[in-house]
Copies of this chain bind each other. A is one copy, B any other.
Amino acid sequence: MIDDAPPLLAVRGKTAALRLPAVAVVGARNASAAGLRFAERLARDLGAAGFAVISGLTRGIDAASHRASLGSGTIAVLAGGHDHIYPREHVELADAILAQGALVSEMPFGHEPRARDFPRRNRLISGLCAGIVVVEAAKCSGSLITARFALEQGREVFAVPGSPLDPRAEGTNDLIKQGATLVTDAADVIAVLRPILGKPVEFRAEEPEAPAPGAEPDVGERARIVALLGPTPVPIDDLVRLSGSSPAIVRVVLLELELAGRLERHGGALVSLL
């Protein structure tokens, strides 16, 4: 449901949790006691209202949100492969999530998460949900990256206010100034998301058609399309026009390249070679 969707997602646990309407609850690792308490209350109430709670399994707000929604279904999006849970201290929490929820990763088995995998992972947290609630966030924090992705993806952005003297509220107060919905209660989230409950998340971009079964590029087509690609992102539409191949064939070639780890997808249906 996002522009630069991964070619596949590896899921462990109950895939049913992925079919619930979902809200991401994210925030600071070094959260305050009040922030943790609020995240728990919010995640529990959202779970009771029928939402899956999505987060990133990190310390602080993320872990508190997962714990409070274990019984109703919670989804953790990993930055590494399924055999590299990060942080290590949350291996048990990850196991507990499997009972009613799911662990999701776009990374291959064996992939150890690096620093740059986390912002990349955040686009999946926002992409999987109808709305994202930022509970506590300093300026320039990872949660704000997730909020930016959410905006680009047309998801609802919610933020929990805090004292102007609390640096952990700078990011969330800024989000509210920029138009995010102020949240003091799960009801604030539900009131906005109820109209889309039960319906699929609205797409901003058009959903790509599935490649026609049997569409199989020949050697010449494949070479022409690869030759059109380089490190500079180009629109997929241009590849179709310039290669003379059908959109379905172009998509198959791009998928092959992506599975081989040679393609990078950008926002706005742009792609480049890695």
Contacts and interface: CB of A to CB of B under 8 A. Distances in A.
A38 B162 contact: no
A220 B170 CA distance: 67
Interface in A176-190: 176-177, 182-185, 188
Interface in A21-42: 34, 37-38
A232 interface: no
A39 to B, nearest CB: 11
A65 interface: no
A198 B68 CA distance: 53
A184 B164 contact: yes
A161 interface: yes
A169 interface: yes
A197 to B, nearest CB: 21
A173 interface: yes
A161 B177 CA distance: 11
A219 interface: no
A182 B177 contact: yes
B188 A182 contact: no
Nearest to A174: B184
A34 B160 CA distance: 18
A183 to B, nearest CB: 7
Interface in A62-99: none
A166 B182 CA distance: 15
Contacts of A160: 163-164
Contact of A162 (B161, B183, B185): B161
A115 interface: no
A37 to B, nearest CB: 6
Interface string A178-209: 00001111001000000000000000000000
Nearest to A42: B164
Given A163-B161, A164-B38, A165-B34, A184 B173 contact: yes
A162 B184 CA distance: 10
B161 A182 contact: yes
A162 B160 CA distance: 9
Contacts of A169: 161, 163
Interface of A: 34, 37-38, 160-166, 169-170, 173, 176-177, 182-185, 188
Top 3 closest A-B pairs, CB basis?
Answer: A161-B161, A164-B184, A34-B165
